[in-house]
Structure 1
Amino acid sequence: MVAGKLGITLLTLGLLWHSVVADEATAAAWRGLLRRTLSGEGRGPVLLALLLMPLNWGLEAWKWWRLARHLEPVSFRRSFRAVLVGLTLGFVTPNRVGDYAGRIMELKSRRLDALGAVFLGRYCQLVATVVAGTGGLLYFLLRFYLKGYPAAQLGVAVATLGLNAAVLLPLYYSQVLVAAVQAVGPLRRFSRFLAVMPTYPARALTAVLLISSLRYAVFCAQFGLLLLAYGVRAPLGPSAAAVAGTFLLKSLVPSLNALADVGVRELSATHLFGLLGEPVLPVLSASLSLWVLNIAVPSAIGLFFVLRMKVLRKRRNSRPAPVAS
């Protein structure tokens, strides 16, 4: 365990150094963000985006608390710690699978069911991303790519509605999803992890979905504030569509680790905002700064909890057993 913790710490620190300091583009964006903050130019939007960071992860902790308490009694404090530990472990693992381990380690029982609970939380976040993101991409398709083709526009709009329904329905009819997974041979082994999903009542699922939507709105607000700080002045509606489209495209591409998300988001953001006539550099700087604020900084904070978990367990195990009277 000691070697594992040390390896995670060194790997996380190494990736953070590479992404925030050694990587020229990210380092330049971060220096620009600090310079604007300290000089007063863009200070208000940057500080607001920074203040939204704990709210962002606080909402994620609230969401996990709502899911985890269905399995066992758990405090919000433990849920928040589990989210930060999961964020740090996910930073260094393919497709952020370490996020599952970080949250499961905080539970005392039903850890197998916890895998399904983590997946359910991720799925709710994906639903919010898909619903908003397809609307954003639909705006660009209708305005820039299908202009003058009303039949194609109608077909794409109907397909968008169908896609949203197809994504939303499995959330409330998860028994169908579990049955479908069981029917597919290569996926059958995953059905036992998803078996807990149908045990969540519709009211709880709606609450988690609403929290996911609120967290998504915080993400969008942060991105918008950073774009404003870097001088992007696109109209509010098209900007919101570009932000939503960017988040959707990032979510649809599997990543090797948290660093891989950066390239996908930057490519999507610069393309969509480029269609709105915005220069690349301010959009690139805002997107990189968003990643630093919401992933790099919280991952570094989570390292403290990763190491502290080991220390606390050592202390508990070293306590002498009570003497029977």
Structure 2
Amino acid sequence: MTETYQRKVLNIAKLTLVLGTLCFIVYKLFFAYNIQDLASGNNFTFTNSKIILLTATVLLIVPNIAIDSLKWKLVMIQHEKVSWLQSLQAVSAGIALGIITPNRIGDFAGKALFLKTYDKIKGAIASFIGSIAQTLAIVCCGSVGLWILTLQQQYINNVQFYCGLVAIGILLSLVYYLYINIHWLNRIISWRKITPYVDAFTHYSQKELTTLFILSLIRFGIFNIQYFLLLHFFDVPIAMQYAFPSLAAIFVVQAFVPSIILIEMGVRGATALFFLGLFSTNTSGILLAAYSLWILNIMFPALLGLYFILKLKARSAA
């Protein structure tokens, strides 16, 4: 395959991706999420305090992306030296590809595009480590959040309380143990064609996996703080002791719903209304907060990712 042909194929692929992603974003904002109608139906007024809330929420995008970039650097540390810029490019490109693919599988491929020396298929598989760490953080916090919500909403006797507490403790301990011993996966999967790629999981120590998990917890905390600030920005003043368990529950439900475009659009709003609706009747405010979180943490980085993908050269993508 000549370099000229590679360049043409890559340019067509990039153009298709950019147009597809932009169409998807426009569809989300103006048709699926119906932002304009929601905003007009919300008696919203700008005040100095709301400007501070919005500014703080937007600024939190920086540590959010920075932590995700650091996670990618740590994932690749055993395979290839990745610069901060390269990591930022990989993470944002992963988000861009992730939003237009089922279950965000494009995220793994998007990150691997910017690897220079390491095998891109192995790189995409290795990126599962960071995703698993983030999912584990969501499961841990979400399980606790669901349990706290249960305690807040109905009476539970001492036996039920301690049984539930022990069950959650055992479940989370088991999941965490499996995570820090993920190298066992290489022994379970023995198919010769796949083994060389799954071997990427064996390169991480328990200390490195724990570091990824802690970073994922911090990132999950940032998501929750942003969500909480947006709720208050859109006049949904839910107290912290009720808001944070509800938000953790929302994230854990969304994490396990198949991310097919039509399903995800309904689930994002439905889960927010189900849990936050327990404490507020401001439906439009709840939906605006949920969709604004998507705009800040998914749409903006995805647009940045599209820029990096457009700048990608044929030889780098090969």
Scaled to the shorter chain, the TM-score interval is 0.7 to 0.9
How far apart are 1:52 and its partner, in Å? 1.0
Q: Conserved in 1, the CA contact under 8 Å of 2:41 and 2:284?
A: no
Is 1:307 aligned to residue 310 of structure 2? yes
Residues 220-299 of structure 1: pairs in structure 2 closer than 5 A: 220-257=224-261, 260-299=263-302
Q: Distance in 2 between matches of 1:188 and 1:30?
A: 55
After TM superposition, give the deviation of residue 84 of structure 1 in Å.
Answer: 0.8
Alpha-carbon shift at residue 149 of structure 1 (Å): 4.7
Partner of 2:137: 128
Identity %: 27
Alignment counterpart, residue 139 of structure 1, candidates 148, 152, 175: 148
Listed as ranges, the gaps of 5+ residues in structure 2 are: 1-9
- Within-5 A mapping of 1:51-70: 51-70=59-78
Name the SS for the 1:161 alignment partner.
helix
> Whole-Å Cα distance in 2 between the matches of residues 36 and 62 of structure 1?
38
Q: 1:157 & 1:21 partners in 2: Cα distance?
A: 43
Aligned partners of 2:41 and 2:67: how far apart in 1?
28
The letter for the 2-side match of 1:135 is V
Decide whether aligned partners of structure 1 residues 302 and 44 sit closer, same or farther in structure 2, where only a CA change above 3 A counts: same
Matching residue's letter, 1:293: L
CA distance in 2 between counterparts of 1:44 and 1:142 reads 33
Aligned residue in 2 for 1:83: 91
Q: Are the aligned partners of 2:125 and 2:198 in contact in 1 as well (CA < 8 Å)?
A: yes
Partner amino acid, structure 2, of 1:221: I
- Greater alpha carbon shift after TM alignment, 279-288 vs 188-197: 188-197
Relative to structure 1, the CA distance from residue 261 to residue 44 in structure 2 (aligned partners, 3 Å threshold; closer, same or farther) is farther
Rounded Cα–Cα distance in structure 2 between residues aligned with 1:30 and 1:212: 32
| Structure 2 residue identity aligned to 1:139 | I
Output one character per residue of 1:73-115: Cα deviation in whole Å (capped at 9) or x when no partner: 2211101101111111111111111111111111122334323
- What is the CA–CA distance in structure 1 between the aligned matches of 2:173 and 2:158, rounded to whole Å? 23
Q: For structure 1, which segment, 239-248 or 104-113, has the greater mean C-alpha deviation from structure 2 after superposition?
A: 104-113
Distance in 1 (CA, whole Å) between partners of 2:231 and 2:66 is 23
Distance apart, 1:57 and its partner CA = 1.2
Equivalent residue number for residue 11 of structure 1: 20
Contact (CA 8 Å) 2:250, 2:271: kept in 1 or not?
A: yes
Give 2:80's aligned amino acid: E
RMSD: 2.6
Structure-2 residue corresponding to 1:318 = none
Contact 1:266 1:284 in 2 (8 A): yes
5+ long unaligned stretches in structure 1? 315-325
